[in-house]
């Protein structure tokens, strides 16, 4: 993937991204690299203390970093206040995503009443049902299934094998990775003398703009009203979002987290991996939850919350569990 | 999705579902709604104390509730002992699932020796291998793959992109959501001097009647004998069922739970989300396990079991972990 | 699946697999069975103490076991030092995997510049993009998607509906189960005043030889350098492997485990199910981690590590949590 796609001079990059350049503006970079993997032509970056040990020996042509690290930079320095952000933007320029050719692959099955923008690209073996809408410049990878009445906003990109159930709405500039399932039935059953009767899930899913959804993530449709994912939310892989959950704008959630039905998560939250949320909770804006925690009650104030228990040697762990169990005995 | 599908008078609903009506039997409802989202024509319900605060201000035409709540009902009341169940049945009537047209889509690849009932519907890009059987009125969504010898009972419905490995059996009236994989190899390897040799997984999977399986859930085939899911079991999304697991009838399991090989779960259990079961356990009938618990030993008696640790502020959590670690030190 | 595929005499099996035979070498077996499910013609095995209680009543024709158990064997005994391994090999002989016919299904969409070995089998509705390479005797099940430049080594087998993103490399003799997604973007975003900017994920994924990857498992592509899974690694279902993770040779990982970005796991580790690994850790060779643990710090020494809390009755658990919370209060 380290294709040399394009080349840019450091002078050009400094101007375009508002960075201070210490070095020769005529030098050119063609690709990104880690500090330790860099070679001539590489652009690298330093954005956290963990990587600083690799700085002095880097063979990069240029390194994006903060002013405080510029002194120690062995290459041309592109200096900015947010090196990770500047790096992200330069990397997007150096490694542009290939874009698909507009048009509907002849193998795709498209209902007469579906509306596909002429600038959209629909891959092989896609199925687009009645009343579905596919916006301008949308890309559907191979094998995507867009059920009746689902809508996809302009410039969104579905990787191969994404399924949108009926009436699901996806905003603009979203990215949805392979295997994601948006709008499957929520888990709703009424008990009936030891058996379960299915409660029809008649809500849908509304996903805002600039949302990214990871591979094999599932977002269930609402029971009555809709499940909602607001603008700018980033969901990693294998996340489960239950029916009628609301995830506030610009919240980021790491892989394998599960959110039970009707829980409302605030804006700009950062949720670690494999976190479990009980249902019907309200989580404030700007809450962080560290990985492997169980959120079983609402969180009213922004801040950092945890309950993941870190590993110790199994023998020590057994002693800890034995002690803990004593606390479970009834008070006498 | 809030299509006005059909309309029914309250008198008709009361008779059909054995409910007591307080209000005008000629009033008509066309769709379901939440108490707070209801408008004229809406049927709503009240089944738990959490929603009661929305009752008095509801604009619903009719509300399904229990006798104890009828006094406070601001609309026509449909009164029954199990409002959630009655609501589920009325909602099924008001919002019927669209049914597919019988027939095999011309793009589907069907082996000569596969048997497809004439009333079944097989969607685009399905693959049905030799010896597979698809029962009466079965619906296979786009891109389903039914490998050699797999069988699907009457009236079952596979949403798009479900895969049944060879010889898997699905009962009648089952629903399987997108991305589910039934019958992949169990995780069986024999150690051989620091490497692993695959143990062929020659069992299969047998799934009873009226089972629902969520999106991206995986049920592995047995190592020698079959993995078994009994009648009426409800599995949410992203559940993992290991080889030779048995899940007893009418047990319901919430999302992201994992069940290791050869564990036997009883009937009518209710398992929360993200619960981990160790292998080779026996779990009694009528056991509840709350979310994010680890079941590492057999459970012999019905009851409620837990081990999920609730979040606290991260600073407090760090102190708790530091204290806990002292219990791990060897006794002196 | 208990097809009688082939028959072998015990004499033949003893010679071929270096086992000591106590019994009639002319007896023949046709299939494997559990000790309790065996009948005439069955070959069974005893490899752990849990199954020993079923030994004396078994109707198997022959049983693979260790010398210590041979005395009590009610059938012909095939005796070896590693009965599970010997059983795996005999089972592979008795139940050979059906092999697909070479050739590309006419429905598959294959780019002109893709290279498909003539001995390979490409199933219906596969998509193979430009520059991709499919090696000798590779089998691609229905609906596999191999994006631009991805490569699959000889004798590997992808079950239906596997997706390889661009430039992913799979070694020889690998097995990848349905729904696995290899090479989706890692979860990389740079913060920009309360919103997130995507960091292009320009690395890829390199998977060694003899790797097995379970159903719906996801392995993300690297941010800059590659995510790496070394030879002989076995990954169960629904595992999440973050960007730039390295998993050392012959490590086995049970279902639902999640590994955050840039963590390096050693060789021959055994990781239980639903384990969470934080990012940027280093785990030594020969480490075991029991199920439902959280590995939040590097592990420098081989050994067994745990932190999964076992369930107790919910009432007892509530008391335990209440006590634990006292440790979280500030020291006074």
Write out residues 247-266 of C within 8 Å (CB-CB) of A: 256, 258, 260
Catalytic machinery residues of A: 243
Residue C65 clears pLDDT 80, i.e. is over it: yes
Nearest to C95 among B190, B200, B324 (CB): B200
- The 8-class DSSP code of residue A264 comes to E
User: Which partners does chain A have (≥3 C-beta pairs < 8 Å)?
Assistant: B, C
| Full DSSP string of A88-146 | HHHHHHHSPPP-PPSEE-TT-EE-TT-EE-TT-EE-TT-EE-TT-EE-TT-EE-TT-EE
Rg of chain A over Cα atoms, rounded to whole angstroms, equals: 24
pLDDT of B243-294, one tens digit each? Answer: 999 999 999 999 999 999 999 999 999 999 999 999 999 999 999 999 999 9
Q: What is the pLDDT of residue C1?
A: 42
Beta-carbon count within 10 A of C265 CB: 27
Q: Token digits for A314?
A: 């199994």
Strand partners, C127: C109, C145
pLDDT of C1-56, one tens digit each? Answer: 444 468 999 999 999 999 999 999 999 999 999 999 999 999 999 998 888 999 99
What residues of chain A lie within 8 A of the CB of C191, using their CB? 82, 84-85
User: Which partners does chain C have (≥3 C-beta pairs < 8 Å)?
Assistant: A, B
What residues of chain A lie within 8 A of the CB of B84, using their CB? 190-191, 199
What residues of chain A lie within 8 A of the CB of C202, using their CB? 1-2, 31-32, 91, 95
Beta-carbon count within 10 A of B68 CB: 9
Nearest to B187 among C255, C268, C309 (CB): C255
Q: How far apart are CA C98 and CA C120, in angstroms?
A: 14
Q: How far apart are CA C326 and CA C315, in angstroms?
A: 18
How far does C160 lie from chain B, in Å, by closest CA?
7
Domains of chain C: 8-94 (3.40.1390.10), 165-305 (2.160.10.10)
Write out residues 301-330 of A within 8 Å (CB-CB) of C: 308-315, 317-318, 321, 324-325, 327-330
Nearest to B314 among A191, A304, A320 (CB): A304
Q: Give the mean pLDDT of chain B.
A: 96
What residues of chain C lie within 8 A of the CB of A4, using their CB? none
What residues have CB less than 8 Å from A102, skipping those under 6 apart?
A118, A119, A120, A121, A137
Q: Which of A161, A166, A199 to mutate to test the interface with B (most CBs of B within 10 A)?
A: A199
- In terms of pTM, does the model score above 0.95? yes
Q: Which of C196, C213, C283, C304 to mutate to test the interface with A (most CBs of A within 10 A)?
A: C196
- Whether residue C33 and residue B179 make contact (CB cut-off 8 A), yes or no, is no
**% of chain B with per-residue pLDDT over 90:** 93
- Whether residue A178 and residue C304 make contact (CB cut-off 8 A), yes or no, is no
Question: Residue A70: which of A52, A87, A50 has the closest Cα?
Answer: A52
Q: How far apart are CA C205 and CA C222, in angstroms?
A: 7
How far does C1 lie from chain B, in Å, by closest CA?
6
- Whether residue A329 and residue C310 make contact (CB cut-off 8 A), yes or no, is no
Q: How many CB pairs under 8 A join B and C?
A: 222
**If pLDDT is split at 50, 70 and 90, which confidence band does C331 have?**
low
Enumerate residue ranges in chain A where pLDDT < 50. Answer: 1-4, 332
**If pLDDT is split at 50, 70 and 90, which confidence band does B49 have?**
confident
What residues of chain B lie within 8 A of the CB of A324, using their CB? 324, 327
Write out residues 47-76 of A within 8 Å (CB-CB) of B: none
- Whether residue A313 and residue C290 make contact (CB cut-off 8 A), yes or no, is no
Q: Which of C38, C274, C325 to mutate to test the interface with B (most CBs of B within 10 A)?
A: C274
**If pLDDT is split at 50, 70 and 90, which confidence band does B1 have?**
very low
With 0-12 / 13-18 / 19 or more C-beta atoms within 10 angstroms meaning exposed / middle / buried, residue C244 is buried
CA A290 to chain centre: 17
Strand partners, C229: C207, C247
Q: Which residue from A minimizes the CA distance to B35?
A: A224
Q: Which of C106, C178, C303 to mutate to test the interface with B (most CBs of B within 10 A)?
A: C178
Q: How far apart are CA A74 and CA A65, in angstroms?
A: 12
User: What average pLDDT does the segment B57-84 reach?
Assistant: 96
- Whether residue C307 and residue A317 make contact (CB cut-off 8 A), yes or no, is yes
Q: What is the pLDDT of residue A327?
A: 85
Write out residues 189-248 of C within 8 Å (CB-CB) of B: 210, 212, 214-216, 232, 234, 236-238
**If pLDDT is split at 50, 70 and 90, which confidence band does B4 have?**
very low
Strand partners, B157: B139, B175
Residue B5 clears pLDDT 90, i.e. is over it: no
Residue C120 clears pLDDT 60, i.e. is over it: yes
Q: Token digits for A72?
A: 């120690």
How far does B132 lie from chain A, in Å, by closest CA?
23
- Whether residue A306 and residue B324 make contact (CB cut-off 8 A), yes or no, is no
Residue C77 clears pLDDT 70, i.e. is over it: yes
> How far apart, in Å, are the Cα atoms of A97 and each of A3, A26, A94, C132, C198?
12, 26, 10, 18, 12
What residues of chain B lie within 8 A of the CB of A264, using their CB? none
- Whether residue C185 and residue A179 make contact (CB cut-off 8 A), yes or no, is no
Interchain CB contact of B98 with A (< 8 Å): yes
Coil vs helix vs strand at B201: coil
**If pLDDT is split at 50, 70 and 90, which confidence band does B119 have?**
very high
Nearest to A290 among B1, B82, B314 (CB): B314
How far does B85 lie from chain A, in Å, by closest CA?
5
**If pLDDT is split at 50, 70 and 90, which confidence band does C295 have?**
very high
Q: How far apart are CA C211 and CA C156, in angstroms?
A: 9
- Whether residue C237 and residue B256 make contact (CB cut-off 8 A), yes or no, is no
- Whether residue C214 and residue B305 make contact (CB cut-off 8 A), yes or no, is no
Nearest to A312 among C165, C198, C305 (CB): C305
- Whether residue A234 and residue C189 make contact (CB cut-off 8 A), yes or no, is yes
Catalytic machinery residues of B: 243
How far does C131 lie from chain B, in Å, by closest CA?
25
């Amino acid at each position: 993937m380290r294709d040399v796609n394009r080349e840019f001079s450091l002078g050009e990059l400094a101007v375009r991204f508002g960075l201070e350049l210490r070095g020769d503006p005529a030098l050119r970079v063609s690709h990104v690299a880690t500090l330790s993997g860099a070679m001539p032509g590489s652009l690298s970056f330093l954005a956290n203390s963990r990587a600083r040990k690799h700085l002095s020996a880097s063979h990069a042509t240029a390194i994006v970093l903060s002013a405080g690290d510029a002194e120690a930079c062995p290459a041309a320095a592109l200096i900015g206040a947010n090196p990770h952000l500047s790096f992200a933007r330069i990397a997007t320029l150096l490694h542009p995503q290939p874009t698909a050719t507009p048009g509907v692959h002849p193998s795709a099955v498209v209902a007469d009443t579906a509306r596909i923008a002429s600038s959209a690209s629909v891959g092989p073996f896609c199925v687009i049902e009645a009343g579905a809408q596919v916006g301008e410049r949308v890309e559907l990878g191979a094998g995507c299934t867009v059920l009746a009445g689902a809508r996809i906003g302009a410039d969104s990109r579905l990787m191969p094998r994404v399924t949108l159930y009926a009436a699901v709405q996806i905003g603009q500039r979203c990215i949805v990775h392979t295997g994601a399932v948006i709008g499957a039935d929520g888990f709703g059953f009424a008990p009936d003398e030891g058996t379960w009767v299915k409660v029809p899930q008649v809500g849908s899913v509304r996903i805002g703009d600039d949302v990214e959804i990871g591979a094999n993530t599932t977002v269930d449709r609402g029971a009555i009203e809709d499940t909602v994912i607001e603008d700018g939310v980033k969901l990693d892989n294998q996340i489960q979002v239950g029916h009628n959950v609301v995830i506030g704008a610009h919240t980021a959630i790491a892989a394998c987290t599960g959110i039970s039905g009707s829980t409302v998560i605030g804006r700009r939250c950062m949720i670690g991996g494999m976190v479990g949320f009980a249902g019907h909770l309200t989580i404030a804006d700007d809450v962080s939850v560290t990985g492997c925690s169980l959120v079983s009650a609402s969180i009213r104030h922004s801040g950092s919350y945890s309950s993941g228990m870190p590993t110790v040697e199994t023998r020590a762990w057994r002693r800890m569990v034995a002690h803990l169990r004593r606390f479970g005995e009834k008070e006498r």
